[in-house]
Amino acid sequence: MSFDSLGLSPALVQAAARRGYAAPTAIQAAAIPAILQGRDLRGSAQTGSGKTAAFSLPLLQRLVSERPQGARRVRALVLVPTRELAAQVGETLHDLARDLPERPKIVTAFGGVSINPQMMSLRGGADIVVATPGRLLDLADHNALRLDGVAMLVLDEADRLFDLGFADELGRILEQLPKRRQNLLFSATFPGAIQALADGMLHEPALVDVQGEPGTAPDIVQRVIEVDPGRRTQLLRHLLKQHENEWGRVLVFVATQHAAQTVAEKLYRNGIYAVPFHGDIAQGTRADILSQFRQSRWDVVVATDLAARGIDIAQLPVVINYDLPRSPADYIHRIGRTGRAGESGLAISFVSASTQAHFRVIEKRHGLKLPRERIEGFEPVEVAPPLVDASGTGGIKGKRPSKKDKLRAAAKAAQPHDGEES
């Protein structure tokens, strides 16, 4: 299969070649023809599978071939949950559009930076806006853009956008869009309730699911190491030193901003170039950290789940879950940071007696059964806390812990142990 055969214009085929895409990925092969036909689409694909180009290429083609005369109104809106993802999708669109005879105007807008330059760039309208929901609404409230001409709507990381945190904003945005439009929803996962919301928005959608297809999921080796919570930083240091020459850049996930700071500081004090990355760090600094990480000026980034989505760093070979993610979906997003576009990757998760049950929930959800490893010198000694009470009898006489109790206890046990390892 080649990009030629998907119905794309020569300029876009050339753009794909220029970016080094030899052949379409599975999601691209399935989604591009359906989008070019004007159909709605719900696409499930792992991060790293080429989702961005899967919607960007046909979106550019449709916009250019169907450009109306007259004043520019926003005709395509790409909504994303994070600033980093907005920046990245915006860059991809700009680059893919470079060879088009008539270049569309693309504006990227996200919060955390001054709104004025974004308002300036929207003067005279724009063809494509890539935005996070909050900033888009701010711009609409300032009359910097109108959304009633949107013919194509893309929700990238749609599961996150349907989350409670965004629900209100998303609702307000959808109200401003015309009823007739093409809707493209992409996500690594579509849990039941999210799928129902998604389907409520879609009209006879093409359903593209390349999740389990052999050869399409990035090649990621998943390892699980048992270690007591209080020894994780030492184990991390040990692994980083041991694999210094082979790993290169490493992304370490922790549960809280505080943990990101303390773990990064401890590594740094031990001669490892590590830097924290979380939502409390200014947007400009975050962008600098990522670009320095790409240039290998940092060896280790210790991040909260803020970094689990949207960051594409070629040759990021290793991701380490120092703290487990809260949800099974986040596990996939985190490990999707490695092994992108067919490169091989390694994802290591630290589990302890008290987080084993939570990790089993993650495994079960993804149909995994991963062997547990122990590293010499770091063998755990702690035992799992009882799930209901200390007597070990199952709590109130005659009442055994329900499945819900167990899940609750497992989730509680998976909470970070702030202040440990002082």
- What is the longest distance spanned by two Cα atoms in the chain? 76
Helices and strands, counts by H and E, the chain: 16, 14
Sheet holding 106-109, edge to edge: 106-109, 128-131, 76-79, 152-155, 182-187, 41-44, 206-209
Cβ nearer to ligand AMP, comparing 135 with 340: 340
Binds ligand AMP by CB under 6 A, chosen from 48, 90, 133, 328? 48
Cα–Cα distance measured from residue 274 to residue 267, given in angstroms and rounded to the nearest whole number: 6
Task: Please give the distance of CA 372 from its chain centroid, rounded to a whole number.
Answer: 26
Binds ligand AMP by CB under 6 A, chosen from 34, 44, 50, 318? 50
Tell whether residue 159 is a contact of ligand AMP (CB under 6 A): no
Tell whether residue 189 is a contact of ligand AMP (CB under 6 A): no
CA dihedral of residues 158, 159, 162, 164 (deg, nearest 10): -150
Q: In DSSP terms, which residues pair with 251 in a beta bridge?
A: 301, 319
Residue labelled with tokens 């702030």: 418
Cα–Cα distance measured from residue 72 to residue 55, given in angstroms and rounded to the nearest whole number: 21
* Residue range at the interface with ligand AMP (CB under 6 A); choices 24-32, 74-82, 256-264, 412-420: 24-32
Site for ligand AMP in 299-338 (CB under 6 A): 312, 314
Tell whether residue 197 is a contact of ligand AMP (CB under 6 A): no
Residue 328 Cβ vs ligand AMP, minimum distance, rounded to whole Å: 20
Q: Are 260 and 244 in contact (CB under 8 A)?
A: no
Cβ nearer to ligand AMP, comparing 314 with 390: 314
Cβ nearer to ligand AMP, comparing 51 with 358: 51
Residue 349 Cβ vs ligand AMP, minimum distance, rounded to whole Å: 22
Cβ nearer to ligand AMP, comparing 13 with 153: 13
Residue 53 Cβ vs ligand AMP, minimum distance, rounded to whole Å: 4
Tell whether residue 47 is a contact of ligand AMP (CB under 6 A): yes
CA dihedral of residues 127, 129, 130, 134 (deg, nearest 10): -170
Q: Are 225 and 375 in contact (CB under 8 A)?
A: yes
Binds ligand AMP by CB under 6 A, chosen from 44, 52, 349, 355? 52
* Residue range at the interface with ligand AMP (CB under 6 A); choices 43-51, 57-65, 279-287, 325-333: 43-51
Residue 91 Cβ vs ligand AMP, minimum distance, rounded to whole Å: 10
Tell whether residue 118 is a contact of ligand AMP (CB under 6 A): no
Residue 419 Cβ vs ligand AMP, minimum distance, rounded to whole Å: 36
Cβ nearer to ligand AMP, comparing 53 with 97: 53
Residue 237 Cβ vs ligand AMP, minimum distance, rounded to whole Å: 30
Q: What interhelical angle do 83-97 and 10-18 show, nearest 10?
A: 120
Cα–Cα distance measured from residue 223 to residue 186, given in angstroms and rounded to the nearest whole number: 28
Residues lying near ligand AMP in the complex (CB under 6 A) are found at 19, 21, 24-25, 28, 47-53, 312, 314, 340-341
